[in-house]
Structure 1
């Protein structure tokens, strides 16, 4: 079978463009490029402002214009919720109208419930990737149907297990990163933390562990929760802990590759952990909390994990992690975290469902 025609549904909330708002956006950008390199025709439906090189279709398909009476109704949700709902509703109605003539399959890479709830209205197969633990809206969309016609994938064994009561047989297709772009760096004497600055990613724990270990720390990522950043991060910054901004991929490669170790400190059950894969590809060993899928990615040769939330135990591990072999970290990325492996697995699945 030659290249397939894939409708790739992305987030309507954040554009798919560097610097990325989070791991979901980074993954979607990388997957679209990797699938095209494999000869597939990919049409990406994404938020306004997405990377022009992806040829994305804007995903408010039509901007919602509500009457004054509707906006004044007591049931009116937030403007953002309504815009997102309207965008996916418009897209799914469009695909139900003529999607089978334009695409061989639809890959829903968003977190929204409507592509699952409306999949039975399409005459083209739908694949949905589970990127998060179970959410009420998505679980409801699946359970509302006697037989949900969607083929599900999960980004880790851990995430597949979390969804098993609702989705008994999700295919595990792990997220991957471009190991030709994320290349090894020289290492250094300090630590790095990267990701969204939000409570569930726990950068304040990374600061506490780095200080306790007496090792300087640099923090990079978008300030996704300004109140948390101002209250919990800014007061802790100093000469030994610096926030270096929201960097693009090239800036992150340089930053992570120049660190002796990367700290990964989730305060929730991490469904995958793209920042772990990025660090390993840069040859930088990882020291983190044992939550979610992190233990699937790391081996003792490239990273060590402390009990969840135990900052003192994390600090104790830092000197050992800084001495791990950077070549072992890079090998793990190449063998386990490659975007090429991800694209190959999705290609096999696409061809299976398209038949």
Structure 2
């Protein structure tokens, strides 16, 4: 049995949607490690919603998301930082654990790594964003080999330490996702509503094919969302809101296809697997994580990045996809059992290195 301490993303409470796919990954992995008999404790911002696993809530100021920073952006730590407070707590209790797992995509946990005696595994949730952050991560990667985990090869290739990254994929609790074989005449888009997700491309494509688009997710950039509403006042789209897994899968499963339109390198793409689990084909830009998930012409279509005409072509061909194959791919490659096998092996390796 391993004693594991999970340090959450500091951009908002777990369950709020502010942390995007990181939240789902952390909660799924924590529950699966607990199911396997390991002792797990989660450290997360105050007001987090965590079930089945012990959680230490920490107060403080949330950290701004890093993905919109320029390459030369400086490192910033806000006053009374919740990230700093979480890692201060970790420092006080580290001797009670065999391994600390960092889910924060931020410089501080990497900077602090040499000051801890308990080994730290870093699960990196995004691609490269700033030069300063890359420098800190690269130094830790070289000093502590095998401690840098990524979700896909495409994500790992954005970093200078790509050759020593551990590619771990991801997984979901598939029992929570119901297969739907009879969709309504509508499309879906799921994710944080922010510029790097390029929601406007999905809206434009749905307008061209004249099929309504349902939008699910957290509005994390209100200015961007208002700009979309102004630019597409007559678009056939509807903002549905942010839902928990049970509610989301029910609504997502009734859609003809999921559109994924990232402008940046997605580390993985949990929503792609969520859609496949419901039997929903995925039409995605062939960029980043989704390009390693979608099986072209079998469980969806990979189209040229930033090509609205490519999205339109995929939508027009979506009825050629067997929705059962979508569910079968999710079961074969992205179950919690498969996730647990990969991560448990990694954790044991890191503990044995000490």
Q: Is the 8 A contact 1:264 1:289 kept in 2?
A: yes
* Structure 2, gaps ≥5 residues long: 63-74
Q: Is the 8 A contact 1:176 1:341 kept in 2?
A: yes
Partner of 2:45: 47
Distance 1:43 1:23 in 2: 19
Partner of 2:34: 36
Q: Is the 8 A contact 1:204 1:233 kept in 2?
A: no
After superposition, the Cα gap between the structure-2 partners of 1:266 and 1:353, relative to the gap in structure 1 and judged at 3 Å, is same
After superposition, the Cα gap between the structure-2 partners of 1:55 and 1:238, relative to the gap in structure 1 and judged at 3 Å, is farther
After superposition, the Cα gap between the structure-2 partners of 1:234 and 1:341, relative to the gap in structure 1 and judged at 3 Å, is farther
Distance 1:331 1:234 in 2: 40
Partner of 2:239: 243
Summarize the alignment of residues 31-180 of structure 1 with structure 2, pairs less than 5 Å apart: 31-53=29-51, 54-60=53-59, 80=78, 83-95=81-93, 99-100=94-95, 102-135=96-129, 136-144=131-139, 147-149=142-144, 151-163=147-159, 165-180=160-175
Of 216, 219, 222 in structure 1, the residue corresponding to residue 212 of structure 2 is 216
Alignment partner of 1:7: what SS?
strand
Listed one character per residue, the Cα deviations across residues 301-340 of structure 1 (whole Å, up to 9, x for unaligned) are 0010211111122112212123310001111111122232
Superposition deviation, residue 140 in structure 1: 2.4
Distance 1:168 1:232 in 2: 40
Q: Is the 8 A contact 1:198 1:223 kept in 2?
A: yes
| Runs of 4+ displaced beyond 6 Å | none
Distance 2:349 2:37 in 1: 17
Partner of 1:71: none
After superposition, the Cα gap between the structure-2 partners of 1:235 and 1:258, relative to the gap in structure 1 and judged at 3 Å, is same
Q: Which moved more, 1:50-59 or 1:138-147?
A: 138-147
Distance 2:109 2:204 in 1: 41
CA RMSD of aligned residues (A): 2.4
Distance 1:216 1:177 in 2: 28
* Structure 1, gaps ≥5 residues long: 65-76
Partner of 1:199: 195
Distance 1:352 1:84 in 2: 30
**Structure having the higher Rg:** 1
Listed one character per residue, the Cα deviations across residues 22-66 of structure 1 (whole Å, up to 9, x for unaligned) are 111121122111111111111111111112533211234x789xx
Superposition deviation, residue 146 in structure 1: 9.2
Q: Which moved more, 1:8-17 or 1:223-232?
A: 8-17
Alignment partner of 1:162: what SS?
coil
Superposition deviation, residue 347 in structure 1: 0.7
Listed one character per residue, the Cα deviations across residues 102-128 of structure 1 (whole Å, up to 9, x for unaligned) are 111111111122222222222221111
Alignment partner of 1:118: what SS?
helix
Partner of 2:348: 351
After superposition, the Cα gap between the structure-2 partners of 1:144 and 1:234, relative to the gap in structure 1 and judged at 3 Å, is same
Alignment partner of 2:283: what SS?
strand
Of 320, 339, 342 in structure 2, the residue corresponding to residue 342 of structure 1 is 339
Distance 1:324 1:16 in 2: 35
Partner of 2:329: 332
After superposition, the Cα gap between the structure-2 partners of 1:210 and 1:63, relative to the gap in structure 1 and judged at 3 Å, is closer
Distance 1:331 1:261 in 2: 16
Q: Is the 8 A contact 2:101 2:120 kept in 1?
A: yes
**Normalized against structure 2, the TM-score is what?**
0.88
Of 270, 281, 285 in structure 1, the residue corresponding to residue 281 of structure 2 is 285
Listed one character per residue, the Cα deviations across residues 202-230 of structure 1 (whole Å, up to 9, x for unaligned) are 11100100111121111111111000001
After superposition, the Cα gap between the structure-2 partners of 1:181 and 1:200, relative to the gap in structure 1 and judged at 3 Å, is same
